[in-house]
A and B are shown apart, each in its own frame.
Chain A
Amino acid sequence: MATPFTSVLKANVIDPLEALLKAEFKGIPVHHDPEFKRRGNFFIRLIPFADELEVQTTEDQLRNYAILLRMYRLTKGRFSKRNNFEQLINFSDRIKRLVNNNSNYKPSSTYKWNDGVISSINYDPNLDDEEVGYQVADLTFNCNVLI
């Protein structure tokens, strides 16, 4: 008989994070492609990349999850105007505040995570050949989940 379990990463982290983003940024496409695919002019990829044990007790675990939010913005031509940078940076600042406002996240009193934070943002990540032409920012989201 298979062991009953809950997909914590999906139920507590990825799905609520996606819902949070979609509620704040109406209509923003959020994708989960493991490999890059062109998804339009502006979209986010959610890429889970770490799940680490913080505290182990006899009954519980506290685990730290890390999700990469890779944000894409298609820019045509040269980045000759500052406005090209401004939008992506302001968008990142808005996500930072959104996560900070929900650092202990309990929608409808249902616990999802605590200590949620955008710990770092990289505005100059390495790009695959297919990604060239997009402005890309990598936002690292971290949170703890008590299981």
Chain B
Amino acid sequence: MISYNKLFNKNVIENLEILLSQEFRNTKIRYDDNFKGKSFFVIKPQRDDIVELRTNGSIRQYTIDIIYYMKDVGVYNKQRSLDNRIDTVERLKELLRTNTASIEEFLYFVDSDGKDFLTSDTENLVILKRPILITSQEQFFITSNGRSFSVFPPLHTYQWHDATIESVNYETISSNPSYLLASMEFKCLVEEVYA
């Protein structure tokens, strides 16, 4: 079996899912047409196209439909039927604008037993008094076994670049009449270098 990178799943879908779930904490992410809940996102992988072919790698463009469903019953006034969708879409556009290139910084620690752990939120961790650590947002980590820690230089992982919501469609017809929807076309580029 050849070795390969699960780029679409790992770099694109998982990363997008993390961004969505961190930003919209009360909105579920689904991968089917099962209508459940007050509001939810549906992620539908669409395309994977070659942009540039190199001797030892490639750049590919990935396209995903993100559909935001919002349950709405009763009178469809402007505020109920449109505003929430617009707010969600605009927030998502801004979220991706600030994450147009997703290069994550991990801080890397090793304890005295050689066990390591990572933080994925790019916060700085300061060792106050072993084994208590505090993040730049004043979140504490306390270990109970008195181990000391060594801090390693941060690791950087590349996920994608040129990520954007290319188009938004506030659709008037939904496959479920109880739900209103806004569908967005998400595109990003991923550069792969073959090992």
Contact = CB atoms under 8 A, between A and B. Distances in A.
A93 B5 contact: yes
Nearest to A121: B48
Interface residues of B, number: 26
Contacts of B33: 78-79
A43 to B, nearest CB: 19
A122 interface: yes
Contacts of B115: none
A80 B50 contact: no
A24 B49 contact: no
B9 A90 contact: yes
Given A80-B31, A84-B31, A123 B46 contact: yes
Most chain A beta-carbon contacts within 10 A, residue among B5, B46, B47, B48 = B48
Contact of A80 (B6, B32, B48, B194): B32
B50 A123 contact: no
B58 interface: yes
Given A100-B58, A118-B50, A123-B45, A93 B4 contact: yes
A142 to B, nearest CB: 9
A114 interface: no
B134 interface: no
